[in-house]
């Protein structure tokens, strides 16, 4: 066996193991980096050869063929349990191997990552799962440890990950070598930075993508979609994005035609223009498969670029459920591994792009694959068998759209909402959602750690269907749209929306009912008001969120931060699966248990969910009045290492304790870390309605702090050319002085003169105490200012 160790950075080393007489000719689809010129020393002691960089010591035992990793001071981080195991197999008739490598973890060492598993766990010890992209769960072979290291197992075939008393193991169905990257970052942020150095940094999304999004399965006409935006504007409830789901193309034989063939969408340009005239944006559903009567199908089929396995939809009759299998749809998935196929895909997609649509909802990028057989996995792709490259499918198809749009125009930033993710996909301007999850409290609870673990793979942009996708069980009768007035669903929806307020994309979507705010009641009613207040809170935080997005792009930061990222010294944070930091300043502790209604449990998945019947005996509760404003409470843990301000009362609370937070349906427990500097934006109906010329800047004393306000043109890629502005804020807690630094950079349309309304939050303020008040309003023209508070 030939073992190679190669430093990519001082903190990252690639390990490959190849059976003798075979060549290492593998191309990585995730890794885009080339090895840096890393200085390291080599030493030998008996059977051990040690390579030492400035950050990492890597030792190879030549007798056992095992590798171990230590920090620069010699502290052991991870070691292989044994040499890689290669079991001969035939991959679509070609000789290859099953590849397996095991590692030894410390007994109480938490590990994280692996994608968005809906198992409710943050730490993934004693966990086993087959890693590959799916509808509800994306298994990504990236882990990181509380010890500050990460590991990327670079294999694209279905891989069983397991951790048990025998060790932590990656076991891939097919491969010609064992190939992984060990990354030492010192902490979770450092690991993520190394992962993105290897696989690509995160491009910025437009400002409008951080506003509120409304969707439905599905808007059945252009009039319906326009009505939603119009009603939001008339009600004064902010909205920035609207999404058109499937079947705007017509019947299933025209599946994903990338044209408006449905007669209910007979004026698509008028529809897009009308949405834009109402200061909103539209994205549209596109798939990885095509119906047999479409132009893309004919082009791809002529070149042998379509797969022959069962995918969604299986029936050509869209109007009947269950599917009429005696009328097969003929829909086939395209070979996204082929550069020629990706060209054909974009050339057809450009028909929609030319209407001025603002982004893409790339559904089924796993892709959907039913009744899987060995023959299916033998399917030939442009890069080998489907089995060999299965995991890379979403990376390839999403990357194809990103690359082609970037090559077509830089005037509009690429924005892709997609259902599946893989290592490195963060470089392609996409936000991955958790798929067709069921509307239950269990699923809401599971979603929080799923999103956090997904973020820990280096993919920061993720979200979920607010309210869950399948919710027919809350209707009195199947499909009667009574669920928005059913207290069981109302409570679940509001709590999901409050959690979703603090994810990178705030998006209401699902099947079975209409979820627009006006179906839940009227202004002045607790549920309606709670929804509106959540949306308005989101908009007030846009300067904070957009500035955080710059940190994600420029400094490899993350939006969703498990508490262990910032408070590793506090062991109670290591497995905290129900709270997170949103950016560096806000601790979010969403209410994840029903406080006013019973928790109705309905088991379903992405296939059985379509069969959930209504008439679930909800009649009595649906008509029973529930007092959603009655005080309740929820437990919140505040980590050690900081003091915390209750966002709603400004009460200052020491860390390292669990408190009971009083709540109503309108309350989401939020806590601001002492030392935080928080910008708050104006009251708007859409993200760019008003310039940020009178921002409120809140200072939360109790520790020194800093914040960088980032601004640019809000769309286009001029920021890549340095066309943007940053302003650094620094708080000196002892001197009680806020320094507003000199503005760095500029961009067209920038307000060179502005006001900052500085608010010092009183350390003693809270219920019954002196309220927070504006301390000073200062004019800022770009030069440094010191404000004594």
> Residue 540 domain-assigned?
no
> Residue 782 domain-assigned?
yes
Please list the helix, strand and coil fractions of the chain in percent, rounded to the nearest 5, in that order.
Answer: 25, 30, 45
The pLDDT score that the predictor gives to residue 511 is 95
> Residue 706 domain-assigned?
yes
- Give the closest residue to 678 by CA, choosing from 489, 542, 523, 522: 542
Rounded (10°) CA dihedral 113, 114, 116, 120: -70
Q: Each residue of 503-548: pLDDT tens digit?
A: 999 999 999 999 999 999 999 999 999 999 999 999 999 999 999 9
How far is the C-alpha of 245 from the C-alpha of 233, rounded, in Å? Answer: 22
Supply φ then ψ for residue 210, to 5 degrees: -95, 0
Identified catalytic residue from 240, 363, 529, 606: 363
- Give the closest residue to 496 by CA, choosing from 530, 539, 524, 460: 530
Q: Is residue 173 annotated as part of the catalytic site, yes or no? A: no
- Give the closest residue to 174 by CA, choosing from 423, 394, 386, 422: 386
Contact 333, 289 (CB under 8 A): yes
How far is the C-alpha of 237 from the C-alpha of 233, rounded, in Å? Answer: 6
- Reported as half-sphere exposure (CB side, CA atoms, 13 A), residue 609 has a value of 21
The pLDDT score that the predictor gives to residue 765 is 55
Please give the span between the terminal C-alpha atoms of the chain, in angstroms, as a whole number. 67
Domain count within the chain: 1
Identified catalytic residue from 335, 366, 570, 578: 366
Contact 392, 423 (CB under 8 A): no
Per the DSSP assignment, residues forming a β-bridge with 699 are 677, 760
Identified catalytic residue from 436, 512, 606, 651: 436
The pLDDT score that the predictor gives to residue 607 is 75
The pLDDT score that the predictor gives to residue 23 is 81
DSSP line for 491-515: HHHHHHHHHHTTSSSEEE--SSS--
The pLDDT score that the predictor gives to residue 762 is 87
Give the three-state DSSP class for 527. helix
- Give the closest residue to 744 by CA, choosing from 457, 550, 494, 531: 550
The pLDDT score that the predictor gives to residue 478 is 87
DSSP line for 78-109: EEESS--EEEEEEETTEEEEEEEEEEE--TT-
- Alpha helices, DSSP H, located in 414-523: 441-455, 487-500
- Give the closest residue to 748 by CA, choosing from 702, 712, 785: 712
- Give the closest residue to 341 by CA, choosing from 303, 377, 378, 309: 303
Q: Report, as ranges of residue numbers, the positions in the chain whose pLDDT lies below 50.
A: 768
Q: What is the CATH number of the domain that holds 693?
A: 2.60.40.1180
> Residue 741 domain-assigned?
yes
In eight-state DSSP terms, residue 566 is H
Check the CA dihedral 514-515-520-524 and report its sign. Answer: negative
> Residue 760 domain-assigned?
yes
Distances (CA, A) of 324 to 190, 195, 251, 314, 320: 52, 46, 14, 8, 7
In eight-state DSSP terms, residue 208 is G
> What number of other Cβ atoms are within 10 A of residue 475's Cβ?
25
Structure token digits, residue 21: 């007489």
Look at strands 677-680 and 694-699 and give their pairing: antiparallel
The pLDDT score that the predictor gives to residue 623 is 61
How far is the C-alpha of 656 from the C-alpha of 661, rounded, in Å? Answer: 15
Whether pTM > 0.95 for this model: the answer is yes
How far is the C-alpha of 616 from the C-alpha of 406, rounded, in Å? Answer: 49
> Residue 744 domain-assigned?
yes
Q: Each residue of 706-759: pLDDT tens digit?
A: 999 999 999 999 999 999 999 999 999 999 999 999 999 999 999 999 999 999
Contact 138, 418 (CB under 8 A): no
Distances (CA, A) of 562 to 191, 454, 549, 643, 665: 14, 11, 17, 18, 25
DSSP line for 615-646: --S-HHHHHS---TTS-EEEEEEE-TTSEEEE
Q: Is residue 358 annotated as part of the catalytic site, yes or no? A: no
Map tokens 């999103």 to a residue.
451
Alpha carbon 320 to chain centroid distance? Answer: 33
Q: Is residue 704 annotated as part of the catalytic site, yes or no? A: no
| Structural domain span for residue 716 | 673-788
Supply φ then ψ for residue 486, to 5 degrees: -90, 120
> Residue 717 domain-assigned?
yes
How far is the C-alpha of 429 from the C-alpha of 407, rounded, in Å? Answer: 14
C-alpha angle 584-587-589 in degrees, rounded to nearest 5: 155
């Amino acid at each position: 066996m030939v073992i190679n160790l190669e430093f990519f950075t001082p903190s990252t080393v690639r390990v490959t193991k190849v059976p003798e007489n075979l060549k290492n000719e593998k191309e990585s689809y995730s890794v885009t980096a080339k090895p840096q010129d890393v200085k390291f020393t080599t030493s030998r002691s008996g059977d051990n050869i040690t390579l030492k960089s400035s950050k990492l010591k890597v030792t190879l035992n030549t007798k056992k063929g095992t590798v171990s990793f230590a920090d620069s001071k010699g502290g052991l981080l991870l070691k292989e349990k044994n040499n890689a195991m290669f079991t001969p197999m035939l991959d679509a008739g070609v000789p290859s191997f099953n590849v397996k490598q095991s590692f030894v973890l410390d007994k109480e060492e938490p590990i994280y990552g692996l994608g968005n598993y809906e198992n409710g766990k943050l730490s993934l010890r004693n966990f086993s799962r087959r890693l590959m992209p799916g509808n509800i769960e994306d298994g990504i072979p990236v882990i990181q440890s509380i010890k500050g290291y990460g590991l990327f197992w670079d294999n694209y075939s279905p891989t069983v990950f397991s951790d048990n008393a025998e060790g932590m193991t990656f076991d891939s169905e097919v491969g010609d070598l064992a190939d992984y990257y060990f990354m030492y970052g010192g902490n979770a942020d450092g690991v993520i930075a190394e992962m993105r150095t290897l696989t690509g940094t995160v491009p910025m999304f437009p400002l409008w993508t951080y506003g509120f999004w409304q969707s439905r399965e599905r808007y059945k006409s252009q009039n319906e979609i326009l009505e939603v935006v119009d009603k939001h504007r008339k009600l004064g409830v902010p909205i920035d994005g609207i999404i058109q789901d499937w079947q705007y193309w017509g019947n299933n034989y025209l599946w994903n035609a990338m044209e408006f063939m449905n007669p209910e969408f007979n004026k698509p340009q008028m529809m897009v223009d009308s949405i834009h005239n109402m200061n909103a944006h539209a994205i549209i559903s596109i798939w990885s498969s095509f119906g047999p009567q479409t132009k893309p199908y004919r082009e791809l089929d002529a070149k042998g670029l379509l797969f022959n396995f069962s995918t969604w939809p299986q029936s050509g009759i869209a109007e009947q459920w269950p599917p009429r299998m005696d009328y097969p749809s003929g829909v086939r998935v395209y070979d996204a591994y082929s550069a020629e196929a990706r060209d054909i895909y974009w050339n057809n997609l450009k028909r929609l792009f030319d209407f001025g649509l603002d982004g893409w909802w790339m559904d089924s990028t796993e892709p959907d694959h039913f009744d899987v057989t060995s023959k299916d996995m033998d399917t030939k792709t442009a890069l080998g068998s489907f089995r060999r490259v299965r995991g890379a499918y979403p990376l390839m198809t999403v990357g194809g759209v990103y690359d082609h749009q970037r090559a077509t125009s830089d005037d509009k930033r690429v924005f892709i909402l997609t259902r599946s993710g893989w290592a490195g996909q963060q470089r392609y301007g996409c936000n991955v959602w958790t798929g067709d999850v069921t509307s239950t409290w269990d699923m809401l609870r599971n979603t929080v750690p799923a999103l956090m673990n997904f973020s820990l793979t280096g993919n920061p942009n993720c979200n979920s269907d607010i309210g869950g996708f399948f919710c027919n069980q809350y209707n009195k009768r199947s499909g009667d749209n009574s669920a928005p007035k059913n207290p069981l669903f109302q409570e679940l929806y509001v709590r999901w929306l409050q959690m979703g307020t603090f994810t990178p994309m705030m998006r209401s979507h699902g099947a079975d009912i209409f979820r627009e705010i006006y179906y839940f009641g009227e202004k002045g009613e607790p549920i309606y008001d709670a929804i509106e207040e959540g949306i308005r809170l989101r908009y007030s935080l846009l300067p904070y969120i957009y500035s955080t997005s710059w940190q994600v792009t420029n400094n490899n930061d993350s939006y969703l931060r498990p508490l262990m990222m910032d408070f590793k010294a506090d062991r109670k944070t290591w497995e905290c699966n129900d709270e997170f930091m949103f950016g560096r300043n806000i601790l979010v502790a969403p209410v994840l248990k029903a406080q006013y209604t019973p928790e109705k449990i309905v088991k379903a998945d992405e296939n059985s969910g379509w069969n959930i019947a209504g008439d679930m005996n909800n009649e009595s509760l649906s008509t029973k009045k529930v007092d959603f404003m009655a005080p309740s409470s929820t437990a919140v843990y505040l980590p050690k290492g900081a003091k915390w301000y209750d966002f709603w009362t400004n009460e200052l609370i020491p860390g390292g304790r669990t408190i009971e937070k009083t709540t109503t349906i309108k309350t989401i427990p939020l806590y601001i870390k002492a030392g935080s500097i928080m910008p708050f934006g104006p009251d708007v109906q859409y993200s760019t309605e008003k310039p940020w010329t009178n921002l409120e800047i809140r200072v939360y004393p109790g520790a020194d702090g800093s914040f960088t306000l980032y601004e640019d043109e809000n769309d286009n890629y001029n920021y890549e050319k340095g066309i943007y502005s940053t302003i650094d804020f620094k708080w000196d807690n002892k001197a009680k002085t806020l320094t507003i630094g000199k503005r760095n950079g500029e961009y067209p349309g920038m307000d060179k003169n502005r006001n900052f309304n500085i608010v010092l939050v009183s350390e003693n303020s809270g219920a019954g105490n002196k309220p927070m008040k504006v301390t000073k309003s200062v004019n800022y023209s770009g030069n440094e200012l010191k404000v004594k508070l």
